[in-house]
């Protein structure tokens, strides 16, 4: 069975880009548009790995991660943070929110897939 | 989906982000900063930068980056907002939009470095931030995505025969590591790609099952690794768990022969005694389960889950139903994007449906079924349904005029920059909705009129002050619905129209006769006459070879009208009235001199049959009727359109009081009213040519073609006065 990845990003471009890249790498991709949508999709699709943006409306990436980690059902899922912000405190904050790892945008397919494979159960 | 498709998505999204950005900045400017708006604005630029980076649009990335940093200043401290900064941000919006356009069309983007510098200065993006910038930009090194050449064989070569360096890694995860979705196994998996490993698990701290706390971390690992890579590469594997574990990496051998010996022993032992590793596994056969349960790794967590679904139905069911409940509560509003062609097709089909329905109605009438017959009743039902479908389809295309209005603020800024004038845009009713085709057609004429309003209307700041006006002029753009149409008004508080000069010019250009007597209103409307341009010299701004006549033509081709009224010294008001849709209208079918004509029902206020005493004659040959407490001029439609003789018998006609926009009311006189029905609008312009006083054509149920009257035009051009008619024919 294909490994399933949930991507959470408010930008349509990024969602399509991620979908394209990850699908080419042989993953099944589910997309969500913000943190709240992400929680919903996480419940529905039980992904193996989650990739999330930080800056999003409704529920941002930090809050999303914190919420995921609170739920016993799926709090073990690895979550990678996609960020254009390379500032260390952002990474720090993502980590303390419960992120598993991060990918700095822009990613190239190899970098992204490698990061995903690093945490893929 | 190809890369090109994604690019297309990117630019479509950029357009959305830009409008969000502009709207947000305007809100901040008018209502003061609010953190949600600032965040939304920041996100817009941030998203553009993100996408641009992925496609390697470097010019866009670097400008968006500075822009983002400037916004970040505001995001971090709302009190940093001031007028100059907002002005600068708004200017940056225009430049950003230009850069996007340049990237989209693969043309050379304009040099943004000056503005970027200005942003840096005004927002005090100081030196230390610059360092970060550099770093961030370095991260943004143009990584061009080659989506086709996707190569997954990334680590194959890394795993070939290691030559020599040996490291000992001790890795003791904290409990928090497991809470972040990590699994120690994955680190080893990754290390294994760099060399050969032998891994030992230390279970010394593992308590008895009774004392075991599932959330604690009890296990440590020691990894001996032979690799070509250095310790930094190894540390990089653990960069995501910095602070979540105790980690030491030391190189074995090489340096001290002493230590080297020991290590080599260890190494050999580990290499040779692989069985020992296996032993750890088998030895712990019983407690191994406990261990894997204790180490709350995803693998372990997943296993009980799987079991649970079988044995623990109750729980699982509960979980599912809880999830379901939540699902019903939270349903984000969803939108879909549809190509406008598909909607256009739907609208055309709907038009055909309306025509077909009219034909069916005609046949049913001819067949002699009564009004209460089942066939007639079914037809009524069909008509109701069609109407509902129609309004549904129309609602799909209805859009608020706001995006177009927002675009105008840029036009104003541009004109102000070019002329040194000061003006601001005020919006009203920007949420008024209208068919997208109308909106699209509106952009050019509106742009032109706004340019004109600032260029010709608003005075220089000095001149304004001399007149006791505020130095900054105001252009107010408003939209509202009125009797089935949308009215858009452009009002400026400038100098108004200089009637003397307009008239002089019109005479000079031979547009009106030297001795013509014109009302103020007629003079004002001369600016719409073909070949008229008041600007002494063609300015860079509004004089682009198109005059107001072109504006009027394009509005008329949308079935609209434009009017001007001016108050010298205090400003002008341009008013456009447009149909809400270009597809269907409710028509009143009338007969006059053997012709069938259609009037928009929305324009008809009242119908009546004339009695002999109702008609008065005023002046030369002008007849009026007293209705609605007013004297309304009677308009002999057949004569005015030129297909009937002058009516002499007014007592037998049917009068329809028609709303004629700014021109007041007119009482159209016709032979009879045939009925009311929905008609499909077929453009005369695209099928034949523009005809004054005729808005469009339609096909009736019997297959006959009928003309739809442009009531406003007829009302405004009604006159027995030949001189005025001459002017009108020139102007219109």
Pairing status of strand B561-567 against strand B473-482: unpaired
Q: Give helix then strand counts, H and E, for chain A.
A: 5, 5
Complex ipTM, two decimals? 0.82
| Facing residue for B51 by CB, picked from A13, A19, A86 | A13
Residue B592 lies in a domain: yes
The residue among A8 and B578 whose pLDDT is bigger is A8
Can you name the residues that pair with B606 across neighbouring β-strands?
A: B657
Q: How crowded is residue A23: how many other Cβ atoms within 10 Å of its Cβ?
A: 14
Can you name the residues that pair with B201 across neighbouring β-strands?
A: B221
pLDDT at residue B138 tops 70: no
Residues in contact with B41: Cβ distance below 8 Å, sequence separation at least 6, in sequence order: B20, B21, B24, B25, B28, B71
Q: Let me know whether B546 and B474 are in one domain.
A: yes
* Backbone dihedral angles phi then psi of residue A50, each to the nearest 5 degrees: -120, 140
Domain range enclosing B426? 401-579
Q: What is the mean pLDDT of residues A29-53?
A: 90
How many CA within 13 A on the CB side of residue B413?
17
Q: Let me know whether B416 and B534 are in one domain.
A: yes
State the Cα–Cα distance between residues B254 and B167, nearest whole angstrom.
11
Residues in contact with B284: Cβ distance below 8 Å, sequence separation at least 6, in sequence order: B203, B291
CA nearest to A105, candidates A78, A118, A86, A90:
A86
Q: What is the mean pLDDT of residues B458-487?
A: 86
Residue B287 lies in a domain: yes
Residue ranges in A29-70 assigned as alpha helix (H): 35-45, 61-70
Q: How many residues does chain A have?
A: 121
Q: What is the mean pLDDT of residues B4-28?
A: 86
Q: At what angle do helices B402-419 and B3-31 cross, to 10 degrees?
A: 70
Q: Let me know whether B163 and B257 are in one domain.
A: yes
Q: Per-residue confidence at B606, pLDDT binned at 50, 70, 90?
A: confident
Task: Decide if B492 touches A, using CB distance below 8 A.
Answer: no
Q: Let me know whether B418 and B364 are in one domain.
A: no
Q: Per-residue confidence at B489, pLDDT binned at 50, 70, 90?
A: very high
pLDDT at residue B130 tops 60: no
pLDDT of residue B420: 85
Q: What is the mean pLDDT of residues B418-436?
A: 86
pLDDT of residue B491: 92
Angle (nearest 5°) at CA B360 between B356 and B366: 145
- Portion of chain B with pLDDT greater than 70, in percent: 79
pLDDT at residue B20 tops 60: yes
- The alpha carbon of residue A31 is apart from the nearest alpha carbon of chain B, in Å, by 14
Residue B331 lies in a domain: no
Q: Which chain A residue's Cα is nearest to B132?
A: A87
| Facing residue for B139 by CB, picked from A75, A86, A95 | A86
Q: Let me know whether B116 and B88 are in one domain.
A: yes
pLDDT digit string, tens, across residues B246-261: 888 888 765 444 444 4
Q: Let me know whether B67 and B191 are in one domain.
A: no
User: Considering only residues 48 to 67 of chain B, which have any Cβ-Cβ distance to chain A shorter than 8 Å?
Assistant: 49-51, 53-54
Task: Calculate the CA B696 to chain-centre distance.
Answer: 30
Residue B131 lies in a domain: yes
- The alpha carbon of residue B336 is apart from the nearest alpha carbon of chain A, in Å, by 12
State the Cα–Cα distance between residues B669 and B651, nearest whole angstrom.
10
pLDDT of residue B597: 93
- The alpha carbon of residue A25 is apart from the nearest alpha carbon of chain B, in Å, by 8
Q: Let me know whether B429 and B538 are in one domain.
A: yes
Q: What is the mean pLDDT of residues B411-420?
A: 85
Number of structural domains chain A divides into? 1
Q: Let me know whether B56 and B185 are in one domain.
A: no
CATH code, domain with A112:
3.40.50.2300
Tell me if residue B38 falls in helix, strand or coil.
Answer: helix
- For residue B147, the chain A residues in CB contact (below 8 A) are 20-21, 24, 109
User: Considering only residues 173 to 202 of chain B, which have any Cβ-Cβ distance to chain A shorter than 8 Å?
Assistant: 178-183, 186, 190
Residue B333 lies in a domain: no
pLDDT of residue B590: 92
- The alpha carbon of residue A28 is apart from the nearest alpha carbon of chain B, in Å, by 15
- For residue A14, the chain B residues in CB contact (below 8 A) are 47, 50-51, 54
pLDDT digit string, tens, across residues A95-120: 888 888 888 777 778 888 888 888 88
CATH code, domain with B498:
3.30.565.10
State the Cα–Cα distance between residues B386 and B658, nearest whole angstrom.
27
Identify whether the C-beta of residue B526 lies closer than 8 Å to the C-beta of residue B506: yes
- Contact B180/A24, CB-based, under 8 Å? no
| Facing residue for A24 by CB, picked from B39, B150, B330 | B150
CA distances from B480 to B334, B400, B534 (A): 27, 11, 30
Q: Let me know whether B432 and B446 are in one domain.
A: yes
Whole-number CA gyration radius for chain B: 39
- Portion of chain B with pLDDT greater than 90, in percent: 2
Domain range enclosing A104? 4-119
CA nearest to B559, candidates B541, B528, B589, B585:
B585
The chain-wide mean pLDDT, for chain B, equals 76
CATH code, domain with B105:
1.20.120.160
Task: Decide if B1 touches A, using CB distance below 8 A.
Answer: yes
pLDDT at residue B171 tops 50: yes
Task: Calculate the CA B28 to chain-centre distance.
Answer: 19
User: Considering only residues 214 to 253 of chain B, which have any Cβ-Cβ distance to chain A shorter than 8 Å?
Assistant: 240, 242-244
Whole-number CA gyration radius for chain A: 13
Lowest mean pLDDT among A34-43, B425-434, B543-552: B543-552
Q: Let me know whether B487 and B594 are in one domain.
A: no
Residues in contact with B143: Cβ distance below 8 Å, sequence separation at least 6, in sequence order: A106, A107, A108, A111, B53, B54, B56
Task: Decide if B428 touches A, using CB distance below 8 A.
Answer: no
Q: What is the mean pLDDT of residues B134-159?
A: 41
How many CA within 13 A on the CB side of residue B269?
9
State the Cα–Cα distance between residues B121 and B126, nearest whole angstrom.
8
Q: What is the mean pLDDT of residues B101-124?
A: 85
Number of structural domains chain B divides into? 5
pLDDT digit string, tens, across residues B330-388: 444 567 778 878 887 888 788 788 888 888 888 888 888 877 888 888 988 998 898 88
Residue ranges in B56-124 assigned as alpha helix (H): 58-76, 83-104, 113-122
pLDDT of residue B490: 92
Identify whether the C-beta of residue B100 lies closer than 8 Å to the C-beta of residue B18: yes
Can you name the residues that pair with B227 across neighbouring β-strands?
A: B165, B195
State the Cα–Cα distance between residues B346 and B352, nearest whole angstrom.
10
CA nearest to B61, candidates B71, B74, B51:
B51
Q: What is the mean pLDDT of residues B559-572?
A: 84
* Backbone dihedral angles phi then psi of residue B709, each to the nearest 5 degrees: -80, 145
- Most B CBs within 10 A among A10, A13, A90, hence the mutation to make, goes to A13
User: Considering only residues 323 to 352 of chain B, which have any Cβ-Cβ distance to chain A shorter than 8 Å?
Assistant: 323, 326-327, 330, 332
Identify whether the C-beta of residue B202 lies closer than 8 Å to the C-beta of residue B286: no
The chain-wide mean pLDDT, for chain A, equals 85
pLDDT of residue B334: 65
**Own/partner pairs, B268-277, CB within 8 angstroms, 24+ separation:** B270/B198, B270/B200, B270/B224, B271/B198, B274/B198, B277/B198, B277/B199, B277/B200
Can you name the residues that pair with A32 across neighbouring β-strands?
A: A8
Task: Calculate the CA B648 to chain-centre distance.
Answer: 56
- For residue B139, the chain A residues in CB contact (below 8 A) are 84, 86, 104
pLDDT of residue A31: 92
* Backbone dihedral angles phi then psi of residue B108, each to the nearest 5 degrees: -70, 120
Q: Let me know whether B408 and B388 are in one domain.
A: no
pLDDT of residue A50: 93
pLDDT at residue B454 tops 90: no
Identify whether the C-beta of residue B471 lies closer than 8 Å to the C-beta of residue B416: no
pTM, two decimal places: 0.48
Q: Let me know whether B135 and B275 are in one domain.
A: no
Q: Per-residue confidence at B483, pLDDT binned at 50, 70, 90?
A: low
């Amino acid at each position: 069975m294909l490994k399933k990845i949930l991507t959470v990003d408010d930008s349509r471009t990024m969602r399509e880009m991620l979908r394209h890249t990850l699908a080419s790498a042989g993953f099944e991709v589910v997309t969500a548009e913000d943190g709240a949508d992400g929680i919903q999709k996480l419940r529905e699709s039980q992904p193996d790995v989650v990739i999330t943006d930080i800056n999003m409306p409704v529920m941002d990436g930090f809050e999303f991660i914190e919420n995921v980690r609170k739920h016993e059902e799926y709090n073990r899922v690895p979550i990678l943070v996609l960020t254009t912000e390379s500032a260390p405190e952002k990474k720090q904050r993502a980590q303390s929110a419960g992120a598993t790892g991060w990918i700095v945008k822009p990613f190239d397919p190899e970098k992204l897939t490698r990061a995903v494979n690093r945490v893929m159960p | 989906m190809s890369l090109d498709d994604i690019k297309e998505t990117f630019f479509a999204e950029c357009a959305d982000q830009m409008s969000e950005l502009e709207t947000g900045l305007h809100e901040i400017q008018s209502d003061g900063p609010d953190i949600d708006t600032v965040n939304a604005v920041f996100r817009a630029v941030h998203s553009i930068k993100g996408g641009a980076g992925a496609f390697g649009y470097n010019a866009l990335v670097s400008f968006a980056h500075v822009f983002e940093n400037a916004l970040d200043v505001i995001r971090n401290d709302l009190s940093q907002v001031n007028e100059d900064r907002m002005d600068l941000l708004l200017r940056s919006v225009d430049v950003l939009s230009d850069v996007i356009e340049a990237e989209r069309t693969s043309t050379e983007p304009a040099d943004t470095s000056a503005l970027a510098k200005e942003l840096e200065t005004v927002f005090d993006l100081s030196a230390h931030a610059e360092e970060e910038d550099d770093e961030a930009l370095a991260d943004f090194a143009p990584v061009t995505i080659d989506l086709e050449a996707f190569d997954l064989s990334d680590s194959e070569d890394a795993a070939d025969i290691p030559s020599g360096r040996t490291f000992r890694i001790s890795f003791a995860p904290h409990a928090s590591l497991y809470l972040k979705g990590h699994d120690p196994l994955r680190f080893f998996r990754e290390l294994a790609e760099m060399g050969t490993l032998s891994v030992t698990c230390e279970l010394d701290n593992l308590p008895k099952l009774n004392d075991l706390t599932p959330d604690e971390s009890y296990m440590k690992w020691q990894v001996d690794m032979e690799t070509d890579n250095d310790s930094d590469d190894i540390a990089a594997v653990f960069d995501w768990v910095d602070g979540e574990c105790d980690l030491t990496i030391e190189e074995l051998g090489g340096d001290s022969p002493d230590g080297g010996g020991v290590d080599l022993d260890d190494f050999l032992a580990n290499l040779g005694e692989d069985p020992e590793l296996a032993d750890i596994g088998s030895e712990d056969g019983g407690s191994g389960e406990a261990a894997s349960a204790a180490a709350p790794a995803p693998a372990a967590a997943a296993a009980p889950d799987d079991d649970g679904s079988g044995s623990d139905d109750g729980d699982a069911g509960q979980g599912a139903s809880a999830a379901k409940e939540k699902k019903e509560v939270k349903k984000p509003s969803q939108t879909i994007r549809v190509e406008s062609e598909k909607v256009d097709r739907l609208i055309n089909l709907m038009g055909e449906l309306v025509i077909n329905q009219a034909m069916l109605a005609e046949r049913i009438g001819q067949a002699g079924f009564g009004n209460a017959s089942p066939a007639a009743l079914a037809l009524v039902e069909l008509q109701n349904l069609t109407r509902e479908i129609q309004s549904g389809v129309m609602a799909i295309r209805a859009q608020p005029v706001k995006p177009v209005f927002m675009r105008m603020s840029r036009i104003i800024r541009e004109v102000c920059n070019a002329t040194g004038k000061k003006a601001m845009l005020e919006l009203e009713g920007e949420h008024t909705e209208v068919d997208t085709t109308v909106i699209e057609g509106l952009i050019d004429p509106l742009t032109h009129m706004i340019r004109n309003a600032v260029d010709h209307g608003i005075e220089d700041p000095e001149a304004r002050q001399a007149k006791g006006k505020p130095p900054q002029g105001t252009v107010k753009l408003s939209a509202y619905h009125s009797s089935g149409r949308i009215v858009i008004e452009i009002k400026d508080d400038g100098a108004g129209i200089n009637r003397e000069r307009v008239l002089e010019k019109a005479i000079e250009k031979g547009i009106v006769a030297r001795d013509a007597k014109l009302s103020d209103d007629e003079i004002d409307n001369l600016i719409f006459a073909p070949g008229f341009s008041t600007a002494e010299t063609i300015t860079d701004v509004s004089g682009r070879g198109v005059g107001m006549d072109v504006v009027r033509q394009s509005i008329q081709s949308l079935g609209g009208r434009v009017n001007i009224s001016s108050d010298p010294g205090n400003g002008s008001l341009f008013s456009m009235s447009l149909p809400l849709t270009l597809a269907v209208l409710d028509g009143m079918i009338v007969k006059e001199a053997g012709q069938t004509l259609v009037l928009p029902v929305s324009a008809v206020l009242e119908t009546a049959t004339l009695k002999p005493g109702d008609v008065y004659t005023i002046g030369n040959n002008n007849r009026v009727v007293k209705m609605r407490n007013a004297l309304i001029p009677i308009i002999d439609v057949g004569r005015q359109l030129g297909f009937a003789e002058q009516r002499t018998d007014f007592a037998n006609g049917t009068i329809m009081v028609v709303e004629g926009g700014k021109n007041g009311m007119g009482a159209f006189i016709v032979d009879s009213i045939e009925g009311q029905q929905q008609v499909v609008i077929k453009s005369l312009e695209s099928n034949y040519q523009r005809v004054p006083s005729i808005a469009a054509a339609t096909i009736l149920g019997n297959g006959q073609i009928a003309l739809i009257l442009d009531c406003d035009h007829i009302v405004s051009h009604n006159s027995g006065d030949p001189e005025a008619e001459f002017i009108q024919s020139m102007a219109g």
